[in-house]
Chain A
């Protein structure tokens, strides 16, 4: 059973297009995240949701909009794609004992490789 799944695994699109990446976790966790890993393998947190509420929003262009329809799902929509958006995007989840904030053991999805041409 896949704990954290993402679709699609690969996404090739042209500049200016709008695309979405979906994430689902079946671990019963209350916190989900989006990360971007660039070509140098540097992993940076973008967003964090706890119980469907946004709790972390790092310095990310507002072309990126996360949406959490329920605790098990966190989608990432990207408008007006740019060349610099090319990267691997990872979804992750964790269970936060306090229910708010903090970072704990995270489970990552397999990643979505986005290529913007």
Chain B
């Protein structure tokens, strides 16, 4: 079963229309939650790391928050250049004591001018 689920799969916004992307996870033993941005034909670009529930981080128009079961990436007054696929990844401890990294399938964001 999916351990990291991102929703929605795709989101279209008008420039200036704020919204949120969701990343929910079912793993236990969370070690960290990562947000990346990926432009077409390029590698993912690191945005944020969150380690514990209640933590928040901001960068320009983006703000990431974390609860015990999910993370939100809030986009305030987005611009067309924010269009990209946003990936969430979770690192967690397995029962065997090793650490695993699992990516979600991403949310493709399109911001229309």
Contacts and interface: CB of A to CB of B under 8 A. Distances in A.
A43 B44 CA distance: 10
Interface in B74-98: 85, 87, 89, 91, 98
A103 B43 contact: no
Q: Contact size class for B?
A: 20 to 34
A20 to B, nearest CB: 19
Given A103-B31, A103-B91, A42 B103 contact: yes
Contacts of A109: 43
Interface in A1-46: 4, 40-45
Contacts of A104: 32, 49
Q: Chain A's interface: helix, strand, loop or mixed, by majority?
A: loop
Contacts of B105: 40-42
Listed residue (A42, A45, A106) with the most chain B CB atoms within 10 angstroms of its CB: A106
Contacts of B44: 43, 90, 106, 108
Contact of A103 (B36, B85, B87, B101): B101
A43 B103 contact: yes
B45 interface: yes
B85 A92 contact: no
A92 to B, nearest CB: 7
Contacts of B87: 43
B106 A105 contact: no
Given A41-B106, A42-B105, A43-B87, A101 B45 contact: no
Interface string A37-76: 0001111110000000000000000000000000000000
Contacts of B43: 4, 90, 92, 108-111
Nearest to A42: B105
B85 A41 contact: yes
A110 B42 contact: yes
Nearest to A40: B105
Contact of B34 (A4, A42, A103): A103
Interface of A: 4, 40-45, 90, 92, 101-111
